[in-house]
Structure 1
Amino acid sequence: MNSLTIRILAGLLLGLALGATLGAVHPAFQAQLVGYAGALGGVWLDALRMTIIPLVFSLLVVGVAQAAGTVQTGGLAARALITFAVVLLTATTLTAIVAPALLNAWPAPAAAAEGLRRAAQGAAAGIPPVPPLGDWLKSFVPSNPIKAAADGAIASICVFALTFGLAASRLNETRRAHLFELFDAVQATMMVIVGWVLAIAPIGVFFLALVVGAQTGFGAVGVLGHYVIIVSLMCLMAGAFGLVMAVVGGRVPIGRLITALIPVEAMAVSTQSSLACLPVMLEATQQIGVSPRVRGVVMPMAVAVFRLTSPPGNLAVAIYVAHIYGIHLDPGRLAIGVVVASLVSLATVGVASSVTFFTTLVPISMAMGLPMDLLPLLLAVETLPDFSRTVGNVTAHVGVTAWANRWGKGGVADADPA
């Protein structure tokens, strides 16, 4: 757990404690203090929001162009990239079905959820209804991309960025290089600003948590615990795809697979880093018989871009926020969430985990028309479901590499000699 995470968590706990104390004592200045805290926390959140459109657009343009280049080269790398995209969409779609059903069967504590809604009073009031199917489909193609950006129409911006990136990949090498350098510089600049904003995240989270604590008391702790369990379950469900890919796709015996995965999962829990697990994952794929060529190509690619639990986990966060606010998510809004969550997860490769939470969740929330006031509080406890995210990711990395070993073969090769 890094120092920023510890400081954010401390800000959350201090804010909740002070807010709960104010709610119990009811001093004369309570309303004024809570009002100031809400305003200051809102300013911090707006400072974070202002980076999202240029950041997501520039990340998507560069990421899509690079992916297009990989596909054009063909071969094992291109097939792996296409497989990553299909599995990501499948796992995220399953989350869109399972998470709402799970929350209906096991809802958040009613009293605490009501307190959270009061703490962000009116935040959901301006959420527009999903338009008819024809209008909804038309909204994906922005007639005016500048206006779409100003309106925060993130789904339209993602489509435009995809189109722009694909078109840019067809330019000659000199023009393409200059254009990508520009957008790479834009995203790097936005990341600097995000770093500045996150540096004062403990203060922003403190103010927002104070408001929540004043409204809910310590009941917010129960809601956060419920949230951690729901999101962790969705991440582990996504990670189970890794087992399916290895056993069904790669024809790896389940006992052999579990034996090979034990040190991988132990490393994942202890480090919370897929990259740190790369050496043991390479060893695990050797144990289950993956050829050196396949594991040398597919495994590094998987670690770099195949974060299987990212879009399902992030969509689960958005669905949980909607649940707290009592917002009905119809199939159209969930479909938007699935697409944006999958795209943004591919675009934010290489971004630090403390930053990724916002660079992925804010676009998803904007696309689905959800309030974002609870995101800083959820960031403070993100380190807990992050265990499940990492476990699911490393399982998927090993699974997809085992599956790739069968492409063009009849089965898993014999293990390499020691």
Structure 2
Amino acid sequence: MKLHTKILLGLLLGAALGTSANVFAHNPPWVQWFATNVASPVGQIFLRLLLMTVIPLVFCSIVLGVAGLGDIRKVGRVGIRSISYFLISTAISATIGIVLVNAARPGEGLPPALRDQLMAAYQSRVDMLVNFFPRNPIQAAASMDMIGLIVFSLIFGAALTLIPEEKAKPVIRVLDAVGEAIVKIIGMAMRLAPYGVFGLIFYVTSRLGLDIVRKLGAYVVVVILGLLLHGLGSLSVLVRVAGGLRPTVFFSRIRDSIGTAFSTSSSNATLPTNIAVAEQELKIPPEIAGFVLPLGSTMCMNGTALFEGVTVLFLAQLFGISLDLPTQMVVIVMSVITAVGAAGVPGGSLPLLMVVLGSVGVPPEGIGVVLGVDRILDMCRTTVNVVGDLTAAVYVAR
């Protein structure tokens, strides 16, 4: 049985048993004992396995992403156009998500007593982060000052591009190996996901019943609606205006890429198909496709940024945490930055979502609430990520 099928079964079984215990059995003592001493610890171990990857993953991903551009003084026209498009389209995507979740407010409406229970279950140990430039990057990492760590990573990556290549290469090789090892750890953690998802969902639904299930359903609808609006709306406008290609023609020619992305949930796995489609169907020069698409598979994460923005505000609403407009702007910026560092593998964005949550004072452990529905959302956001890569290639090749 495939992993995503096991995760779905864990979600359904945990939700069904937990909701039944709450609604029909009125949460008897033995259910409370099981939820507290069995289900919750299994779920928390899974979350901690993801949390332990956050610091090295953020540092390695961002440093390698910046250093991989080469000398920042020699990026050239193609590089500047590509990166500018990546950042602008990703920011548009994140903004769409923020606007939608503010309009729909899927996380609001829990009774105060249930909200207090939920907050107690996922009480964060991460403080609100305000210092963009850390005095000590090691201390920033140890204290989970994610904004400070990200700024240092960006500066360090840029500095690597400015020193002689023979000196930078050994550092890059080490960071690349560390990054690969971290991705393997995430893969190992995801093997525990079916049991972790069951434990987390059972723990929450046994206490909150159908209320949390309804909120999750509304959350899924908002994320998918946002992805559709960006994928079929704003990307269509961009490919027409910036790329000079009719959207109907564009989407008809990239069907293979869309199918591969949706089925694999991996930008990396879709890359060979993307390059072939770009060169053969969209008639993009090989030198453009070979530069823009590999770079886009790590830097152009439109769907991931939208997903992160919606999820952060949904969980804030669920926990009763008010995020003002400046803080929501921070969410957009952090979603764009962390989306650039997201590993292009199934579940690769989950540790970085915790970064965004912690940066605005929302409990990172709250990710356990949405974890069970992540697989279907991962398939959808990866599809939008891949479509965004191809629109970027069309724009740069024009």
Deviation at 1:191, TM superposition (A): 2.8
> Which residue of 2 is the match for residue 133 of structure 1?
none
Letter paired with 1:181:
R
8 Å contact from structure 1 (residues 17, 218) kept in 2? no
Instruction: Tell me the secondary structure at the aligned position of residue 110 of structure 1.
Output: coil
Asked if 1:223 corresponds to 2:215, the answer is yes
Aligned length: 393
- Taking a change above 3 Å as real, the CA distance of residues 289 and 193 of structure 1, as seen in their structure-2 partners, is closer
Asked if 1:342 corresponds to 2:341, the answer is no
Q: Deviations over 1:135-167 (max 9, x none)?
A: x4xx10111222222221111110011111111
Deviation at 1:371, TM superposition (A): 1.4
8 Å contact from structure 2 (residues 69, 75) kept in 1? no
Instruction: Tell me the secondary structure at the aligned position of residue 67 of structure 1.
Output: coil
The equivalences for 1:163-178 within 5 A come to: 163-178=155-170
Letter paired with 2:389:
H
Instruction: Tell me the secondary structure at the aligned position of residue 182 of structure 1.
Output: helix
Aligned equivalents of 1:366 and 1:159: distance in 2? 16
> Which residue of 1 is the match for residue 30 of structure 2?
29
TM-score by length of 1: 0.82
8 Å contact from structure 1 (residues 95, 234) kept in 2? yes
Aligned equivalents of 1:45 and 1:151: distance in 2? 18
Deviation at 1:128, TM superposition (A): 5.6
Letter paired with 2:4:
T
Deviation at 1:173, TM superposition (A): 2.0
Aligned equivalents of 1:280 and 1:143: distance in 2? 42
- Taking a change above 3 Å as real, the CA distance of residues 167 and 33 of structure 1, as seen in their structure-2 partners, is same
Bigger CA drift: 332-341 or 146-155? 332-341
> Which residue of 2 is the match for residue 53 of structure 1?
55
Instruction: Tell me the secondary structure at the aligned position of residue 364 of structure 2.
Output: coil
- Is the radius of gyration larger for structure 1 or structure 2? 1
**Which of 211, 230, 237 is the matching residue for 1:244?**
237
Aligned equivalents of 1:384 and 1:71: distance in 2? 41
Aligned equivalents of 1:145 and 1:380: distance in 2? 34
Asked if 1:306 corresponds to 2:300, the answer is yes
8 Å contact from structure 2 (residues 54, 351) kept in 1? yes
Aligned equivalents of 1:403 and 1:282: distance in 2? 17
8 Å contact from structure 2 (residues 265, 346) kept in 1? no
The equivalences for 1:196-345 within 5 A come to: 196-239=188-231, 240-257=233-250, 259-260=252-253, 265=258, 268-269=261-262, 272=265, 274=267, 275-276=269-270, 279=273, 283=277, 290=284, 294-295=288-289, 297-345=291-339
**Which of 66, 69, 86 is the matching residue for 1:84?**
86
- Taking a change above 3 Å as real, the CA distance of residues 334 and 205 of structure 1, as seen in their structure-2 partners, is same
Instruction: Tell me the secondary structure at the aligned position of residue 72 of structure 1.
Output: coil
> Which residue of 1 is the match for residue 4 of structure 2?
5
> Which residue of 2 is the match for residue 372 of structure 1?
364
- Taking a change above 3 Å as real, the CA distance of residues 289 and 114 of structure 1, as seen in their structure-2 partners, is farther
8 Å contact from structure 1 (residues 246, 398) kept in 2? no
Aligned equivalents of 2:376 and 2:305: distance in 1? 17
Q: Deviations over 1:335-360 (max 9, x none)?
A: 2222222122212344x212x13222
Letter paired with 1:376:
G
Q: Percent identity?
A: 26
8 Å contact from structure 1 (residues 92, 338) kept in 2? yes
Deviation at 1:278, TM superposition (A): 5.6
Q: Deviations over 1:161-184 (max 9, x none)?
A: 111111122222222111112222
TM-score by length of 2: 0.86
Aligned equivalents of 1:113 and 1:278: distance in 2? 50
8 Å contact from structure 2 (residues 94, 306) kept in 1? yes
Instruction: Tell me the secondary structure at the aligned position of residue 120 of structure 2.
Output: coil
Letter paired with 1:229:
V
Letter paired with 1:18:
L
> Which residue of 1 is the match for residue 381 of structure 2?
389
- Taking a change above 3 Å as real, the CA distance of residues 373 and 250 of structure 1, as seen in their structure-2 partners, is same
Aligned equivalents of 1:257 and 1:194: distance in 2? 35
- Taking a change above 3 Å as real, the CA distance of residues 172 and 38 of structure 1, as seen in their structure-2 partners, is same
> Which residue of 2 is the match for residue 412 of structure 1?
none
Aligned equivalents of 1:314 and 1:266: distance in 2? 23
8 Å contact from structure 1 (residues 116, 215) kept in 2? no
Deviation at 1:228, TM superposition (A): 1.0
8 Å contact from structure 1 (residues 148, 157) kept in 2? yes
Q: Where do 5+ consecutive residues of structure 1 fail to align? A: 131-135, 407-418
Bigger CA drift: 288-297 or 369-378? 288-297
8 Å contact from structure 2 (residues 284, 393) kept in 1? yes
Aligned equivalents of 1:287 and 1:192: distance in 2? 34
Aligned equivalents of 2:182 and 2:65: distance in 1? 16
- Taking a change above 3 Å as real, the CA distance of residues 340 and 125 of structure 1, as seen in their structure-2 partners, is closer
- Taking a change above 3 Å as real, the CA distance of residues 225 and 28 of structure 1, as seen in their structure-2 partners, is closer
Q: Where do 5+ consecutive residues of structure 2 fail to align? A: none
